[in-house]
Amino acid sequence: MATAIVCPDGFKGTFSAREVAAAVGAGLRDAGLEAVELPLADGGEGTLEALLDRGGERRVATVGGPLGEPVEGAYGVLDGGRVGVVEMAQASGLVLVPAERRDAWRASTRGTGELIAAAAAAGVERILVSVGGSATTDGGAGAIEALAGVELPPLTVLCDVETPWEEAAAVFGPQKGADPAVVARLAERLDRLASTLPRDPRGVPMTGCAGGLSGGLWATRGAALVSGADFVLDFLGFDRLLDEATLVVTGEGRLDEQSMAGKVVGTVAERARARGVPCFAVVGESRLDPAGAAAMGLAQVLEASTESAQRAAGRAVGGSLSPN
């Protein structure tokens, strides 16, 4: 029988990766295929959930939110207590700020620093920090301040984009509530901060994630910066599953040119193509034409913005194959 790996990212603001995988997987089974559900993330929202799917303990700490109000932020402890996972969106995420209150200038990463400190206090030997989906553009200044004097194990930052420090304000500031004047002020503030750090993050790929949080941790704590999508795929044993798969179905909320820049769909498609396994994408919206999708390595793209449509997309993909 044909076996499919169902490995989407979440559809931001609508469906979690787990929900999409369940709906598409059900459709594939309707069509007579076996389906292995493997919800993914790229270092942004949902990374904690994806890693905890392999086992571990979810813990909660009260920390400062993006604008200072206390929030209950979750973090994870994996691998028998040896690895901590901090998802910065839990403490400093854009989802925590209503659209009318977004303030890119005020938003702070202090709560993320407090979550990192909580993970360190749990006695872990290594901390993973996923940095997508932030409300912040403070270069990690809030986190750096919160971590002053705190002894930390080695940090690995899971990055969802390759943007360098100096481009963070212009690329991500507008979605966090910054108009052009504020974007310019944010860029100037990041430039001043960079000149005071032990290492200069300017010009270094991935240092601009989460408004420079990745660069701040890299510069002050020697954090390793890695592709979040690749890390999650390796952690979950994707390549081993791919050896046994007939096809792959991935997905995300919006497919566009940025999907090849370290995002789940592009990373999955690249690995599947290298193994000669056909890869399909179920997405909420596609902004790529068929030629662009084919260049990415996708056999077909299906738009499905509801659970029933996602299940139907799974049936359609399954129906295009003859089960063995």
Q: What is the pLDDT of residues 20-72, one digit of tens each?
A: 999 999 999 999 999 999 999 998 889 999 999 889 999 999 999 999 999 99
> Nearest to residue 115, comparing CAs of 146, 158, 155, 149?
146
> Does 322 score more than 70 pLDDT?
no
Over residues 306-323, mean pLDDT: 88
Q: What are residue 85's DSSP bridge partners?
A: 76, 128
197 and 273, same domain (yes or no): no
Domain that holds residue 8: 3-40+238-319
CATH number at residue 279: 3.40.50.10350
> Nearest to residue 216, comparing CAs of 268, 157, 282?
157
Q: pTM of the predicted model, to two decimals?
A: 0.91
Residue 324 lies in a domain: no
76: pLDDT confidence band, cut at 50, 70 and 90? very high
Q: How many CB atoms lie within 10 A of CB 154?
A: 11
- How far is the C-alpha of 195 from the C-alpha of 152, rounded, in Å? 24
Cα dist from 277 to 9, 184, 272, 292, 320, whole Å: 19, 45, 5, 18, 14
Token pair 């930052």: residue: 157
97 and 224, same domain (yes or no): yes
Instruction: Compute the residue count for the chain.
Output: 324
Q: Which positions ≥6 away from 71 have C-beta within 8 Å?
A: 62, 63, 64, 65, 90, 91, 96, 111
> Nearest to residue 258, comparing CAs of 287, 230, 222?
287
51 and 36, same domain (yes or no): no
203 and 266, same domain (yes or no): no
Cβ contact 87:75 at 8 Å: yes
Over residues 221-249, mean pLDDT: 95
Residue type, position 93, single letter: G
138 and 193, same domain (yes or no): yes
Q: Which positions ≥6 away from 65 have C-beta within 8 Å?
A: 71, 91, 92, 96, 97, 111
Cβ contact 148:117 at 8 Å: no
56 and 201, same domain (yes or no): yes
197 and 255, same domain (yes or no): no
Instruction: Return the pLDDT at 323.
Output: 46
Token pair of 9 as six digits: 């990212």
Over residues 298-312, mean pLDDT: 95
Instruction: Return the pLDDT at 45.
Output: 86
Over residues 189-197, mean pLDDT: 98
Give the chain's domain count. Answer: 2
Q: What are residue 155's DSSP bridge partners?
A: 127
Instruction: Return the pLDDT at 160.
Output: 87
CATH number at residue 171: 3.90.1510.10
